[in-house]
């Protein structure tokens, strides 16, 4: 496979509150820190990153659809949509791009409703419970698959 030029980084609802929202669970790093980490990790391999965060499911789906035109893969933390959104899952499946699913906290050690991921079956990479650093590992693993 040829080298990818761009990844889409998707962060779902409430991830704009990183750094202030439940820091005992999600840490003190901000969304800007996450975006910078992923961009720096991808840049080491000559890959650009386009980032989107929204609290609105349709915005995320539109960005995922648009990724078909100029992205080789998607790194996504769907937030709470992980456990509720068949529509988001179908958008990821529909664009047929490799997907890396990331969760900052260990969702399997939390409330029972968080144990199911609608994204899991369409993702080729899963990084769960490694904090913000997990985004870098997910990006590296996705790039390994793409190259």
Q: Does domain 6-146 have CATH number 3.40.367.20?
A: no
Closest CA to 53 of 18, 96, 21: 18
The domains of the chain are located at 6-146
Q: Is 90 among the annotated ligand-binding positions?
A: yes
pLDDT in the model for residue 129: 94
Residue with token string 């080789």: 72
**Catalytic one of 56, 65, 103, 118:** 103
**Catalytic one of 26, 108, 116, 118:** 26
User: How, if at all, do strands 48-53 and 99-103 pair?
Assistant: unpaired
pLDDT in the model for residue 27: 81
Flag residues of the chain having pLDDT under 50.
1
Q: Is 83 among the annotated ligand-binding positions?
A: yes
Is 108 one of the annotated active-site residues of the chain?
no
Q: Find the length of the chain.
A: 147
Is 103 one of the annotated active-site residues of the chain?
yes
pLDDT in the model for residue 1: 43
pLDDT digits (tens, 9 = 90+) for 36-60: 999 999 999 999 999 999 999 999 9
pTM: 0.94
What lies within 8 Å, CB to CB, of 120 at 6+ separation is 101, 126
């Amino acid at each position: 496979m040829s080298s990818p030029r761009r990844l889409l980084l998707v962060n779902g609802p409430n991830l704009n509150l990183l750094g202030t929202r439940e820091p005992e669970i999600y840490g003190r790093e901000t969304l800007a820190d996450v975006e910078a980490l992923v961009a720096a990790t991808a840049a080491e391999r000559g890959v650009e990153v386009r980032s989107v965060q929204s609290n609105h499911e349709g915005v995320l789906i539109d960005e995922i659809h648009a990724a078909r035109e100029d992205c080789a893969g998607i790194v996504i933390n769907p937030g709470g949509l992980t456990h509720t959104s068949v529509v988001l899952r179908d958008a990821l499946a529909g664009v047929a791009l490799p997907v890396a699913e990331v969760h900052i906290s260990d969702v399997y050690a939390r409330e029972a409703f968080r144990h199911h991921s609608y994204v899991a079956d369409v993702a080729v990479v899963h990084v769960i419970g490694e904090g913000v650093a997990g985004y870098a590992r997910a990006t590296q693993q996705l790039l390994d698959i793409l190259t």
